[in-house]
A = this chain, B = another copy of it.
Amino acid sequence: MPMIHTFGVIGGDERMRYLADSIAADGYPVCTAGLEKLAPCRKAVPASMEELAKRSSVIVLPLPASRDGKTINAPYSEQEIAADDAFVRLLRNKIVYGGMIGKLVSTSDIWQEIGPEDYYRREALAVANAIPTAEGAIGVAVREYPGTVNGAKCLVTGFGRIGKNLAMLLKSMGADVSAAARKQEDRMTMRAMGVRPLSFREITQRYDLIFNTVPAQVIGPPVLNRQDTETWVIELASAPGGVDRMCAERCGVHVVDAPSLPGLVAPKTAAEYIKEAIYAMLEE
A160 at interface, CB cutoff 8 A: no
Is B268 in contact with A124, judged by CB distance below 8 angstroms?
no
Within 8 A of B (CB), among A149-167: 149-151, 165
Overall SS of chain A's interface:
helix
Is A135 in contact with B173, judged by CB distance below 8 angstroms?
yes
**Bound CA–CA A175/B176 (angstroms):** 13
Is A135 in contact with B123, judged by CB distance below 8 angstroms?
no
| Contact (A192, B269) CB under 8 Å given A135-B173, A173-B169, A280-B184 | no
A74 at interface, CB cutoff 8 A: no
A168: B residues at CB distance < 8 A:
172, 193
| Contact (A148, B188) CB under 8 Å given A142-B135, A169-B172 | no
**Bound CA–CA A269/B168 (angstroms):** 22
A174: B residues at CB distance < 8 A:
131, 191-194
| A148 touches which of B124, B131, B150 (Cβ 8 Å) | B131
Q: How far is the CB of A24 from chain B (nearest CB, A)?
A: 15
A150: B residues at CB distance < 8 A:
131-132, 135, 191-192, 194, 269
Please name the residue on chain B nearest to A132 by beta carbon. Answer: B148
A240 at interface, CB cutoff 8 A: no
A136 at interface, CB cutoff 8 A: yes
Q: How far is the CB of A274 from chain B (nearest CB, A)?
A: 13
| Contact (A265, B142) CB under 8 Å given A135-B173, A148-B132 | yes
Q: How far is the CB of A72 from chain B (nearest CB, A)?
A: 23
A202 at interface, CB cutoff 8 A: no
Is B269 in contact with A184, judged by CB distance below 8 angstroms?
no
One digit per residue, 1 when the CB lies within 8 angstroms of any chain B CB and 0 when it does not, for chain A 247-284 equals 00000000000000000011111000000000010000
